[in-house]
Structure 1
Amino acid sequence: MALEWVVVGAAAGAEAVMVILLTLPVGNPLRKGLISGSRSLLKPFLSVVPFCLFLILDIYWKHDARPRCKLTGEACTAAELLRYQKAVVKSQRNGLLVGAALVFYWLLYSVTHMVARMEKLSERVEKLENQE
């Protein structure tokens, strides 16, 4: 099960790096390469979305099937209580990782299309200036 979290973490990291690179002010040839690279990565990174939805269901199932151990009511040993708390923290961490992967994909998609449109508009402005 740890491999799927490594994959989601790597995808979220790659998406974050691409968003940062797209928003940096760089030269025109490098920007065109970044735009084409991020456009080509959008389709493979789209597979992250259903994978994250599956992982959200996995988190929910583990949360629902986890034995409850509260301080009041049931008699829990210290080891059981510690195990329960670790499981809660782990599921919260995994939920944040899934959320970050989905948000970074949405940012990468939005920023890529915005930057590509800005490049097309700047090319149109240059053509109009050259015609006059």
Structure 2
Amino acid sequence: MALQWMILACVVAVEAAVAALVTLPAPRAVRGQIVALTSLLLQPMASVIPFAAFQLLDIYWKKEHRLMCTSEICTAEERIRFEKSMFKAQRNVILCVSACLLYWCIYRVVKYNKDIKALEETEKRLKEE
């Protein structure tokens, strides 16, 4: 199970780097190449959405079926283990949500850049006529 979270953490790191790369100011030619490359990578990167959704469902199922340690009977060790598992689950939820949110941000930025390029080409063509 830890391998899945490590993969998702690496995907989030890559998405954050791509989001930073796409949003940084750059010359028009460089920006066009970055946007073109990123738009080619968007479709394979979309697989992160169902993967993160499955992980969220797994977290929810485990939360619903977790043994609660809230009574006086629990030892200190059991209480610490319960709290650590809750903190890990919260961290993993943040990881899944950030993976989906970063993908959406990259998609929108690339779409906006493509729309701007199309509008510039249309304006240029209309000026020539």
Both structures adopt the same fold (TM-score exceeding 0.5):
yes
Structure 1 gap ranges (5+): none
Structure 2 gap ranges (5+): none
Which residue in 2 is equivalent to 1:80? 78
Alignment check: 8 A CA contact 1:22 1:115 kept:
no
1:94, CA displacement in angstroms?
0.1
> In the alignment, does 2:49 pair up with 1:49?
yes
Which residue in 2 is equivalent to 1:107? 105
Name the CA distance, whole Å, in 2 between partners of 1:128 and 1:21: 32
Which residue in 2 is equivalent to 1:96? 94
Q: After the TM superposition, list the runs of 4 or more consecutive aligned residues in structure 1 that deviate by more than 4 angstroms.
A: none
Taking only aligned residues, the RMSD between alpha carbons, in angstroms, comes to 1.4
Specify which of 103, 117, 120 is matched with residue 119 of structure 1. 117
Deviations 1:101-132 (A, max 9, x none): 01011111111100111122223333444x27
Matches within 5 A, 1:9-48: 9-48=9-48
Name the CA distance, whole Å, in 1 between partners of 2:103 and 2:85: 27
1:74, CA displacement in angstroms?
3.9
Aligned length: 129
